[in-house]
Amino acid sequence: MKFEKYLESLKRETSKDISRSAVTYLIKKYAWMSFGPISMILNFVVTKLVDIIIYNTQLAVYFKYIDFRVDEQGQDFHNAIIKNMNAQENGTEQDRINAEKNLKAAFAHLVKLSNV
């Protein structure tokens, strides 16, 4: 999947989930919002607001930042895999140890759950 399609899919699904959750919350809190045209208007307004937030604010920038970081870290991990394979086949004992440490570090950096 290309980056743009993935990013669009991520935004669309996030928008749907947030809209659905917000509408459900509002209807539970204010039962009168579930009746007739009020429900349709509520769905429309919440969906539009969430779309504005996801597509036009810092949240949209955040999505791009996540994908950029994952792509960069994924490439670092991929390079570490190749270097480790080469070291295991052709390197000295110290080369193998260093390559394995680098591979573990690249993997840890890829899967780290942090915004740093």
Q: Where are the chain's structural domains? A: 1-56, 60-116
pLDDT of residue 2: 64
pTM beyond 0.85: the answer is no
| Nearest residue to 51 via CA among 60, 38, 39, 61 | 60
- pLDDT tens digits, 49-95: 998 888 877 666 666 656 555 666 667 777 888 888 888 888 899 99
The answer to whether 59 and 53 have CB atoms below 8 angstroms apart is yes
Angle, helix 36-56 to helix 58-90, in steps of 10 degrees? 50
Task: Please give the share of the chain, as a percent, with pLDDT higher than 90.
Answer: 28
Q: Quick one: pLDDT band at residue 29, thresholds 50, 70, 90?
A: very high
Q: What share of the chain is helix, strand, coil (3-state, %, to 5)?
A: 90, 0, 10
pLDDT of residue 56: 78
| Nearest residue to 79 via CA among 114, 105, 113, 116 | 105
